[in-house]
Structure 1
Amino acid sequence: MNIYDISQKAGVSIATVSRVLNGSDRVSEKTRQKVLSVMNETGYTPNVFAKGLSSNSMQTIGILCANASDPYLANGIYYTERTLRQFGYNSLLSCTGHELKDKQYALDMLLKKRIDAVVMVGSHYIESNPENRQYIYEAAKQVPVIIFNGYIEHNNIYCSFSQDRDAVSNAANYLLSQNRKHLLFLYTMLSYSGREKLLGFQEALQAYGYSKKEIATLQCPVSVMETLEFLESLYPNTFPFDGIITSEDSVAIGALKFAQNRGIHVPEQLEIIGYNNSQLCVCCTPELTSIDNHLSIMCQNGVQNLIRVLKHEPISAATSIPCDLIFRGTTKKQHEIKQS
C-alpha cells in the first residue's frame, strides 16, 4: 500500500493525499476526513523519511553520549528523550566513547540521517584543546547543537549547564567552616565540568589562605572498588585528611569504604561530600552527603530551548543551573544548603 493506492481508493489526486499527510490547509475538511478514513481502513503508515523530505523536518533529534551504561549519562538520556517526546520529536542515540575520532564519526553519521538538531549529553565533548571542538562547530553550521553540562560560545550552539565551580566552592567552604584543615579533592576526568569543579575547590582554599602547594587534589578511577584500591595503594599507613570532596558519588563511596576499612569514623573524624546526588547516596551507611546538580532540570531546560530554536524564537545561548548541597550522614550537618 502506497500513496498512489490511497489516492485511488479515496478518489483524489496524489497531490491531495500528500497535502493531507503534511497537514496542509489547502484541503477541505471533508476531503481530509475522506483520505484519513481510507488510511485507517487500509492500515496505511506514511513513510517517515519521505514525509521528512517533503516537510524539510524529520522530527528527529540526534543524541550523543559517551557511555549509556554510566548512571549519570543514562539519566540524562532518559530526561532528554522523555522531554523530546512531549514535543513530538523522536530521537536517535549514539554512544561515542571518549576518543575524538569516534565522537567525530558518530556525529557525522547522525547528520547523514537528516536529523533536525544534535544534543550532546555530558561535558566531555568540550575538550580543553579548541582544535578538538572543530567538528562541533562544523555540525552547528548544519543544525542547532545543544550541549548539556558544558559551555562553549559559538554560533548555533546552545548550552545548559550546572554551576559546578560555585557548588564545589560552597562545599569546600562548609568543610572549612567546620574547622576541617586538611581537605582532599578526588576527580575522575578533566572534562569541562571536571575542570570547573577543580577550580571551585582550588579557589575556595586559596581564599582561606592555602598556597597552591598545600591544596591536595588527585585524579582517580570512577568506580567504587577502584577508588578504594587507589586510596589503599597511596595511603598504606596513615591518612592525612579530615575532609574529602569528590567529582562523582561513586568515588565518594569508594572513599567511605576506605575510611571504614581503616577504622576512620565518618563524619566525626572525616567528612565526605559526593557529587550528582544519585541513587548511590542512599545505598551506603552512613548515607552520602552530595551536591545535586539538578540534571533533570538541566535536560528539560535544554530541550525547551531547542524547541524554541527550531521555531526560530530568540533564546539565550547559555543557561546555568544552581546546585544544592544535600546533607546526609557523611557530614555533621544534616540539612540542605541551597546555592544562591
Structure 2
Amino acid sequence: MNITIYDIAQKCGVSIATVSRVLNGSSRVSEKTRARILEVMKDMGYKPNPFARGLGLDSMKIVGVICTDVADIFYARAVSLLEEGLRRHNLDVMLSNTGEDRGRNSKYITDMTAKHVDAIITIGTPFSSEKDIRQLQQVAESVPVITINCDYHLPNMYSVVCNEKEGMRKLVHWLAEKGCRKPAYLYDFLTYSGRHKLDGFYQGCRELKLDVSDERICQIERTLEAAEASVDRLVASQCEFDAILTSEDVLAVGAQRAMLRSGMNVPVVGWNNSILAQCATPTLSSVDNKLASLCAAAVNLVITLTENGGDAVPVRTEFSADLVERESFRL
C-alpha cells in the first residue's frame, strides 16, 4: 500500500499542513506533535517522494480531472474553468477522458493515482458500476476526491452539485403559469444529473396534476438530429404538446429547428445555459446549472483539503438552478 501524508495526518489526528511542516523542517510545530508524527511515519513505513518534496509540501502540484467526453461542450467548459482556477494556485491539470461509461472505467482511476496526483476531480458521472465506485472510494482514502454534479454519498468524498431536480420542478411550474400544461420532455442519459432532472419533471407534473403522456417523454441520443427527428415524430403523430423541455441545450436547438420547420410556436427550453443557447436563432431559453460556481467551489475544496487538511470542509456543496429566459420562451 502506498502510504501518503493523508494517511499520516489521519493517524495522528492532525491536518495535512502540519505533517507537511514536519517534512519540511518547519519550526511551527510543537516538539510533542513533531515526535508523534515522526514516530507514526516510522511505524507506517512512510517514505517521502524526493521529487514531490522538491516541489514543496510533499506535493506534485497536479490535480487529476476525469470526465467522459471533453468534446462535449459542457465538459469542455468545465475543464477550462477548473484549469483556470487551479492554475491561479500554481496547480496543473492532468486530464483523463474516459469515453462512454461501460462500467469498466476503474483503470482511469488507477492510472491517475499512479501518477501521484494531489487530488482528483470528476465531472458528471464517469463511474457508475459498483466496481468502479469501490475503486474511487479506495483512492479517496489517500487523496481528496471531489465530484461535480454527482454524489456517491461515500466517506472521504466531497460533492459539489446543482439541485437540478428542484430546478426542473420549478420550470414545469413556470410553464404552467404561462398556460403550458402539456409539456414534452426530451432527455438523453440517465446519469446522476439526468435522473434528477427526470424526477423533477415528474414531480412538477404530479403537483400540478398535469397529463403525463409517455408519448411526450422521449429518451434519445444527445444529437441535433435525434432531437429534430423526435419532434418531427410528435408533430406527425398529432400528439398534443404546448412546450418542449430538454435535458441539454443541444437537444433544445434541434427541437427548435423542427418546430420552426413545422410552423409551430411553443416555448422551448434547454439546459446548461451554454454558448449554444446564446447562438441559437431565436435565442434559446435555458436553465443555468451554475457550472462556473460548481467549478469554483471544487477548486476551493482542493485548496482547502490539500493545504489545510480539510478542517471543517462541507462534504456536500449545493447550488440552485435558475432559468435564463430568452426569445424561445416567449409565447
Match of 1:188? 188
1:112-153 C-alpha deviation (Å, 9 max, x unpaired) = 00111110011x2353x6555222212212211000011121
Q: Following the alignment from structure 1 to structure 2, what is the Cα–Cα distance between the partners of residues 248 and 87?
A: 32
User: Which secondary structure state, in structure 2, belongs to the residue aligned with residue 105 of structure 1?
Assistant: helix
The Cα shift of 1:186 comes to 1.0
User: Which secondary structure state, in structure 1, belongs to the residue aligned with residue 328 of structure 2?
Assistant: coil
The Cα shift of 1:249 comes to 0.5
Q: Following the alignment from structure 1 to structure 2, what is the Cα–Cα distance between the partners of residues 126 and 180?
A: 37
Match of 2:205? 205
Residue 85 of structure 1 pairs with residue 92 of structure 2: no
The Cα shift of 1:292 comes to 0.7
CA RMSD of aligned residues (A): 2.2
For structure 2, list consecutive stretches of 5 or more residues without a partner in the other structure.
1-22, 28-48
* Counterpart contact for 1:118–1:143, Cα < 8 Å: yes
1:157-216 C-alpha deviation (Å, 9 max, x unpaired) = 000011101111111101111111211111111000000000111000000124665794
- TM-score w.r.t. the length of structure 2 is 0.80
User: Which secondary structure state, in structure 2, belongs to the residue aligned with residue 155 of structure 1?
Assistant: coil
The Cα shift of 1:25 comes to 6.0
Residue 308 of structure 1 pairs with residue 318 of structure 2: no
* Counterpart contact for 1:126–1:152, Cα < 8 Å: no
Match of 1:125? 126
Instruction: Output the amino acid matched with 1:329.
Output: E
* Counterpart contact for 2:101–2:127, Cα < 8 Å: no
* Counterpart contact for 1:224–1:251, Cα < 8 Å: yes
Q: How does 1:114-153 map to 2 (within 5 A)?
A: 114-122=116-124, 124-125=125-126, 127=128, 130=130, 132-153=132-153
Percent identity between matched residues is: 25
Match of 2:253? 253
Q: Following the alignment from structure 1 to structure 2, what is the Cα–Cα distance between the partners of residues 93 and 24?
A: 33
* Residues 207, 25 of structure 1: alpha-carbon distance in 2 compared, 3 angstrom cutoff: closer
User: Which secondary structure state, in structure 2, belongs to the residue aligned with residue 321 of structure 1?
Assistant: strand
User: Which secondary structure state, in structure 2, belongs to the residue aligned with residue 330 of structure 1?
Assistant: helix
Q: How does 1:1-340 map to 2 (within 5 A)?
A: 50-52=50-52, 55-100=57-102, 103-122=105-124, 124-125=125-126, 127=128, 130=130, 132-210=132-210, 216-233=216-233, 235-265=235-265, 270-310=266-306, 311-312=308-309, 313-332=311-330
- TM-score w.r.t. the length of structure 1 is 0.78
* Counterpart contact for 1:126–1:191, Cα < 8 Å: no
* Counterpart contact for 1:120–1:146, Cα < 8 Å: yes
1:49-86 C-alpha deviation (Å, 9 max, x unpaired) = 74205653211111101111111100100111111111
Q: Following the alignment from structure 2 to structure 1, what is the Cα–Cα distance between the partners of residues 144 and 314?
A: 13
The Cα shift of 1:332 comes to 2.2
* Residues 225, 215 of structure 1: alpha-carbon distance in 2 compared, 3 angstrom cutoff: closer
User: Which secondary structure state, in structure 2, belongs to the residue aligned with residue 125 of structure 1?
Assistant: coil
* Counterpart contact for 2:286–2:325, Cα < 8 Å: yes
- Larger gyration radius, structure 1 or structure 2: 1
Instruction: Output the amino acid matched with 1:323.
Output: A
* Residues 257, 195 of structure 1: alpha-carbon distance in 2 compared, 3 angstrom cutoff: same
Alignment length (residue pairs): 284
Q: Following the alignment from structure 2 to structure 1, what is the Cα–Cα distance between the partners of residues 71 and 214?
A: 36
For structure 1, list consecutive stretches of 5 or more residues without a partner in the other structure.
1-21, 27-48, 334-340
Instruction: Output the amino acid matched with 1:274.
Output: G
* Counterpart contact for 1:63–1:94, Cα < 8 Å: yes
